[in-house]
Structure 1
Amino acid sequence: MASRTARLLLSLKARRLTALVLSLLLLPGCSSLFFYPDRVTYLTPDRLNLSYDDVYLDTADGETLHGWWLPAETPESDAKGTVYFLHGNAQNISSHLLNVAWLPGEGYNVFILDYRGYGKSTGAPDIDGALHDVETGLRWLAGNTDVKGRPVYILGQSLGGALAIPLASEWTRRREQPRLDGLILDGTFSGFRKIAREKLGAFWLTWPFQIPLSWTIPADYEGVDYIDDISPIPVMIIHSVRDGIIPFHHGEALYEAAEEPKEFLQTDTPHAATFVIPGYREEVLEFMEGP
């Protein structure tokens, strides 16, 4: 009798856990797979001896976004260009700062933005909202006097790269100004639906639902469908053979779908750890500075 009761309790717990997982995934249209924000301040630029300004931007749908502007460590007239950094899916800009903290010393301005729901940005994240946010940030850059007349690059890491692809594609298609001078993707997945199916399929509780659950994700922003439209803007795709979060084949798929000019940098670091290696930094600098 005791063992039967234990089995019944375990069965009940499993059903409740299944229902909880499904409700959490279905409620936001599977957005929980992509967004893991928090509001903790982990690191600020001044602790790295970097100058910076807080930037607050209002979106058309009533949210307020927070970012940091890091000026190049050169006389204003000598800045080589500006890098617009779109970070990965966890925490906020203060935990991703080290990925770009080296760029001001190399002569580049950096703008790093938190999507809605992250850090000091208001609201709750979802794919459409985040895409709106990254365009809002790029439009702010377009009106920044420190940016005009100098090259502009988008550097997207992981989720940030998946947001950067449709942004750069639409910006290029509409011939918006300033013209982008390069797109750099680091550890980026090839499509929201594609990676969702892989992640759902890897968990026994959601494996049976990987196809129907992935259908709740908009199919309008798959990177492999947009990346060819970015040409003739140069694209650099970085992916590690040891990436345990976004498998290497995603980088290969994006590279295959992209048009020339394009470059592929195969790395050998954990996910989102590319820029701890000086040699990989040099490769990115060479890409931005051209042949």
Structure 2
Amino acid sequence: MTTQTKKHNWIARLLRMLLLIIIVWLLWIAAVWSLQHRIMFPRGMIEDYRIMKSTPPGIESIWLDTADGNRVEAWLMPAEGLEPDQPAPIVFFAHGNGEVIDDNLDLQWLAESGTAVALIEYRGYGRSSGSPSQRAIVADTVQLVEQILKRTDIDETRVGYLGRSIGTGVLSQVARTHPPNAMAMIVPPARLDTMAWKFGVPPFMVRSPFRTDLAVQEVDMPILILTRDRDQIIPPQHASMLDQLAPDSRLVTLRGTHNWLDDDDEMRRERAEIRQFLEAHDIVTR
């Protein structure tokens, strides 16, 4: 075998190897494309015991019947300490992608501060039907916000948003058409599409990017951003980016990881920051 022949064989093997790598990568991209919403919205990992069979006492269950035949739930905690005929300010809450509204009954502390609290569920989560995506969840949330704000016991002029993790992405998109008086963000991702590289795919493949970085520049509202110093899921750089982009924002760093604060003192500090922020914008009254 001549040197020239050996060289041609080596090049041919290299090209076959590169072709195989490209084919495997394209197959991987196709798999991630089709499965990305299962990855982004891992509702199948939520244990059954966390989903209640009935609405807790003192909480009202509200249902949205969607145009595509699904039903999406929200829970409404009434404000405490108001006069019987006094419309209540309201905080709309959107949770993280590994939660259901049932996990967030501790937000009763906000209701005790004199504001109603609406816990918005995502389609496909808990008792709600359907398949989640950015487009669907945002559309559902917009309709639930509109539905709840029509109530005579709610003051539509005093509205706050509170989101955690991916929930900040949901509410920031809602705020583009339905801006609140103020919004608090807990461990917010600035955008989810840039995380695609962790799975070996380019950002443009992400169908639900939740571009909070764009939304905060478009909506004129005060924003409180709460990040945590050891968050390895949504690094604090995301919060810093949002703080730089938003016209009216305040950034607070707490001690903890993405899902847990270090201790009760940090939990009380987080609640105090949220309460003072909402009180400053006439959403919390006591």
**TM-score class, shorter:** 0.7 to 0.9
Amino acid at match of 2:50: Y
Q: What's the offset of the Cα at 1:160?
A: 0.3
Are 2:42 and 1:36 equivalent residues in the alignment? yes
Amino acid at match of 2:101: I
Are 2:194 and 1:194 equivalent residues in the alignment? yes
Larger Rg: 2
What's 1:242 paired with? 230
SS in 1 for 2:224: strand
What's 2:14 paired with? none
What's 1:129 paired with? 136
What's 1:283 paired with? 273
Query: 2:34 & 2:209 partners in 1: Cα distance?
Result: 19
How many residue pairs are counted as aligned between the two chains? 252
Deviation per CA, 1:210-267: give whole Å up to 9, x if none: 32xx322247741111111111x2111111112122110000011111012x211111
Scaled by the length of structure 1, the TM-score of the pair is 0.77
Are 2:162 and 1:155 equivalent residues in the alignment? yes
Query: 2:72 & 2:51 partners in 1: Cα distance?
Result: 18
Amino acid at match of 2:193: R
Q: What's the offset of the Cα at 1:113?
A: 1.6
1:105 pairs with one of 83, 104, 112: 112
The structure-2 alpha-carbon separation of the partners of 1:95 and 1:254, relative to structure 1 and needing over 3 Å to count, comes to same
Identify unmatched segments of 5+ residues in structure 2. 1-23, 282-286
* Deviation larger for 114-123 or 132-141: 132-141
Query: 2:205 & 2:214 partners in 1: Cα distance?
Result: 18
Identify unmatched segments of 5+ residues in structure 1. 1-16, 173-179, 201-205
SS in 1 for 2:50: coil
Kept after mapping to 2: 8 A contact 1:166/1:227: no
Query: 2:224 & 2:247 partners in 1: Cα distance?
Result: 11
CA RMSD of aligned residues (A): 2.9
1:61 pairs with one of 57, 68, 72: 68
What's 2:17 paired with? none
Tell me the percent identity: 22
Amino acid at match of 2:169: A
Counterparts in 2 of 1:1-291, with a 5 A limit? Answer: 24-28=31-35, 30-37=36-43, 38=46, 40-42=48-50, 51-75=58-82, 76-77=84-85, 81-98=89-106, 100-148=107-155, 151-172=158-179, 180-197=180-197, 200=198, 206=199, 209-211=200-202, 214-218=203-207, 221-231=210-220, 233-260=221-248, 262-273=249-260, 277-290=267-280
SS in 1 for 2:183: strand
Q: What's the offset of the Cα at 1:97?
A: 3.1
Query: 1:80 & 1:217 partners in 2: Cα distance?
Result: 39
What's 1:9 paired with? none
Q: What's the offset of the Cα at 1:22?
A: 5.1
Scaled by the length of structure 2, the TM-score of the pair is 0.78
Kept after mapping to 1: 8 A contact 2:101/2:120: yes
Kept after mapping to 1: 8 A contact 2:90/2:154: yes
